[in-house]
């Protein structure tokens, strides 16, 4: 995973996190949630999507929790903004992605959780990172819960 493209609009701390993840996934795996309004050290993965407009590979670190089926759950919150994040729109167009979890790189397929699965995963993520509740309250859209399923 060395062909990182970062959006110019990303804050410096996110760019720094991606760059660290590229160099040393173990060092970047835990993220200090105080930078985003939370508490404690949280697990992150590096998500690579294909830009739906640019066709370029884009990388972004995201908080995750493992699923009961061996996948990884992430939240498309964009901090409660009215529109979905670009990475979510990218995987809606192309669900085949690459992820890096610590120093383990893999291909994965993204899908949006629905119904009872969504509710259970949403609660799991809120329990892990409470600001998701505030993000949902700040927007009228239902924030998507995404499952990244490794391709074995």
- The pLDDT tens digits of the residues spanning 65-115 come to 999 999 999 999 999 999 999 999 999 999 999 999 999 999 999 999 999
In a domain, 4, yes or no: no
Domain count within the chain: 1
In a domain, 2, yes or no: no
More confident residue, 8 or 27: 27
Print the domain residue range for 134.
12-150
CATH assignment of the domain containing 76: 2.30.110.10
In a domain, 76, yes or no: yes
The answer for residues whose C-beta is within 8 angstroms of residue 38's C-beta and 6 or more apart is 129, 130, 131
In a domain, 112, yes or no: yes
pLDDT per residue as tens digits for the range 30-46: 998 887 667 789 999 99
Question: Does the pLDDT value for residue 13 go beyond 90?
Answer: no
Q: How many whole angstroms separate alpha carbon 138 and alpha carbon 108?
A: 30
In a domain, 7, yes or no: no
In a domain, 94, yes or no: yes
DSSP 51-80: -TTT--EEEEEEE-EE-TTS-EEEE--GGG
Give pLDDT, residue 54: 87
What's the pTM? Answer: 0.92
């Amino acid at each position: 995973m060395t062909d990182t493209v970062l959006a110019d609009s990303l804050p410096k701390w996110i760019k720094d996190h991606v760059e660290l993840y590229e160099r040393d996934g173990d060092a970047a795996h835990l993220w200090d949630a105080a930078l985003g309004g939370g508490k404690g050290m949280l697990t992150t993965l590096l998500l690579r999507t294909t830009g739906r407009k640019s066709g370029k590979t884009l990388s972004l670190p995201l908080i995750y929790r493992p699923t009961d089926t061996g996948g990884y759950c992430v939240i498309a919150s964009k901090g409660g903004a009215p529109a979905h994040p670009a990475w979510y729109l990218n995987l809606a167009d192309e669900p085949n992605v690459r992820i890096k979890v610590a120093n383990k790189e893999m291909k994965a397929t993204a899908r949006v959780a629905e119904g009872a699965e969504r509710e259970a995963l949403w609660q799991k993520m809120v329990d892990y990172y409470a600001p998701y509740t505030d993000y949902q309250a700040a927007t009228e859209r239902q924030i998507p819960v995404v499952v990244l399923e490794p391709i074995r």
